[in-house]
Amino acid sequence: MNVRNFSIIAHVDHGKSTLADRILERLGAMGERDKRDQTLDTLELERERGITIKSTPIRLQYKRPNGEEYTLNLIDTPGHVDFNYEVSRSLAACEGVLLLVDASQGVEAQTIVNAYLAIDNNLEIVPVVNKIDLPAADPEGAAKELEDVIGIPADGAIFASGKTGIGVDEILEAIVERIPAPLGNPDGPLKALIFDSFYDAYQGVILFVRVLEGTLHAKDQITLFSNGRTFDVDKVGTFSPGLVVGSELTVGSVGWIAAGIKDIHDAQVGDTVTSKDNATTEPFPGFKPAQPVVFSGLYPTNTEDYRRLREALERLKLNDAAFVFEPETSEALGFGFRCGFLGLLHAEIIQERLEREYDLDLIATAPAVVYRLTLTNGEVFETQNPAEFPTKDRIDVMEEPYIKLSVMLPEEYVGPVMQLLQDRRGVMKTMNYLGKRVELLYEVPFAEILYDFHDRLKSISRGYASMDYEQIGYREGDLVKVDIYVNQEMVDALAVIVHESKAYSLGRKIVDKMAEVIPRQMFAVPVQAAIGGKIIARATVKAYRKDVLAKCYGGDISRKKKLLEKQKKGKARMKNIGTVEVPQEAFLAVLSTE
Ligand code: GTP
């Protein structure tokens, strides 16, 4: 079969999108008109942040120098750990990958994690040393690292530059020669893997699939393996880019299905599509429904926006099976929603979209992980909401989620990074020396790396350390709830769950930060942190001395107006707690770096 399905994987910023563009350009898939940088990254936010969130496949025609014609399906993968499960499923739709390494940086944490995802999926790896045009490039060194660290022979590496286009011809030939053709029986029972999906207002959910076995025709009936639901297929097709309607999808092909599916939760990444009449008995293994691991409360600053917020959340959820929300009420913040995300980046993306696309002003409460509690009555209870954390006397066993963290760094920073990991309650598993660099593998409580860990790691290693992680389940831990009082009133939305050993320092950090960001009032406002009613830290927001307007001596009306307007704007992201105005920043005090 003259088809090759491949993906490009790399550490963030090693040049994946740039190289993909160069390949597209070489194969004439980018008309001059829509030739803009980073064609594969579609969402506006992706472009701005320079990260890949949604995978977009693209079908390319390649004519070899010897005249043979090939169809190449390039499947893009998300570039962030929050979406690692999606990366793994996108890879399962391929037979091979281009593994890029920046010639000036060498192997980084995500290079290793992605390479192992490819190895786990039995994929052929074509190593590409990229950015060889850089003055600091050391292509041989980078190739050698790939061999030493991952065991990929250095002599198979292609030296390339997505910027200048060097090596692109060689890469195309390697895709055809080294990556195997898809296998499978076109007449067998249908087995297609969903590796992405999106919601279209007219056609319902569009499934992105890789057909692993059998053939699917437009007008067939399909069944989704995980839930047994059956749908009538309206249309099938391929990507060119954009959706192109076809008549069938056969084994080895990468395409899309529209089957009038109304709910994206029926169409989850990793699930298997089969045909109703000729059903497979063996789904693609390892299906996991999307599991949010980070939760936060979202409240409109203006209570009248509650309905608009609900509508916006519903619309976002249509297109995002990993995002969940349910109504929540806070004494301090009123009516809002408890929302679940795949990670902090996912949370930020959703919040930004709500504010930008739906013009909502929101207060977000501090992100929390999901704790597992066994109560004294034997009940097992999972909670991510500090407000509903039971009192200690009702809890028998407390457990918190852990991750396996891999950090790659130059030797000279090992000491300070190990110190940081120890402060974060990490347990070292292994330490591998790879020339002048070191790979550290640790088990760490997820909550400990959630907030500022990445920033701290970067700053103590002068930007040289990189990291990646995966969830590994629950471990016991002594947790406590820290309550926050503003002006003697307990504010439910500010409570946090934390390991006992960190409670005092965290309480101190939160009250100090809050005292710094809460604007001065006419009276002094105490801010306190407490555990079970016992105060552990306290700070004070001092009272005003003078009226702000008094500063505008001379009665300059326009200045006065400006000042008032400025104050009004600043108010947008504030909530009144009793008589005190508390800004958004205060709710995220826990996130601030020491
Ligand atoms: P993510 O999508 O976030 O994973 O990043 P990426 O791996 O797609 O990297 P991207 O293509 O966005 O490139 C990252 C940076 O490296 C950009 O500033 C590019 O301009 C630059 N860059 C990419 N390829 C090359 C190259 O071959 N040579 C040089 N000199 N710079 C490059």
Q: What is the number of the ligand 1 atom nearest to the C-alpha of 160? A: 27
Q: Ligand 1 — pocket residues by CB below 6 A?
A: 10, 12-18, 50-52, 79, 130-131, 133-134, 161-163
User: What is the whole-number distance in angstroms between the Cα of residue 163 and the centre of ligand 1?
Assistant: 8
Mutate to test the pocket of ligand 1, among 12, 13, 54, 99 (most ligand atoms within 8 A of CB): 13
pLDDT for 466 equals 87
For the four alpha carbons of 261, 265, 269 and 272, in that order, the dihedral sign comes to negative
For the chain, residues with pLDDT lower than 70 are: 1, 30-56, 79, 241, 545-574, 592-594
- The enclosing H or E element of 175 equals helix 168-178
- Token duo for residue 553: 């001596």
User: What is the whole-number distance in angstroms between the Cα of residue 50 and the centre of ligand 1?
Assistant: 9
pLDDT for 56 equals 63
pLDDT for 558 equals 62
pLDDT for 18 equals 92
Enumerate the known binding-site residues for GTP: 13-18, 130-133
Task: Give the global pTM.
Answer: 0.79
DSSP code for 533: T
Is residue 144 within 8 A of residue 153, CB to CB? The reply is: no
Residue type, 79: G
Q: What is the number of the ligand 1 atom nearest to the C-alpha of 21? A: 11
Backbone dihedral angles phi then psi of residue 578, each to the nearest 5 degrees:
60, -120
The residue behind tokens 């769950």 is 497
Contact residues for 79 (Cβ-Cβ < 8 A; gap 6+): 10, 12, 16, 51, 52, 110
What would the pLDDT profile of 298-341 be if each residue is shown by its tens digit? Answer: 999 888 899 999 999 988 887 787 889 999 998 888 899 999 99
Q: What is the number of the ligand 1 atom nearest to the C-alpha of 134? A: 30
Longest CA–CA span in the chain (Å) reads 88
Name the CA dihedral angle for 105, 453, 84, 440, rounded to a multiple of 10 degrees.
60
Enumerate the known binding-site residues: 13-18, 130-133
Is residue 260 within 8 A of residue 204, CB to CB? The reply is: yes
| Spatial distance between the Cα atoms of 213 and 216, rounded to a whole number of angstroms | 10
Is residue 289 within 8 A of residue 86, CB to CB? The reply is: no
**Chain centroid offset of residue 106 CA:** 24
User: What is the whole-number distance in angstroms between the Cα of residue 23 and the centre of ligand 1?
Assistant: 14
Mutate to test the pocket of ligand 1, among 14, 18, 38, 102 (most ligand atoms within 8 A of CB): 18
pLDDT for 434 equals 80
pLDDT for 546 equals 54
User: What is the whole-number distance in angstroms between the Cα of residue 98 and the centre of ligand 1?
Assistant: 15
User: What is the whole-number distance in angstroms between the Cα of residue 129 and the centre of ligand 1?
Assistant: 13
User: What is the whole-number distance in angstroms between the Cα of residue 427 and the centre of ligand 1?
Assistant: 34
pLDDT for 54 equals 52
Among protein residues, the one with the nearest Cα to ligand 1's atom 29 is: 131
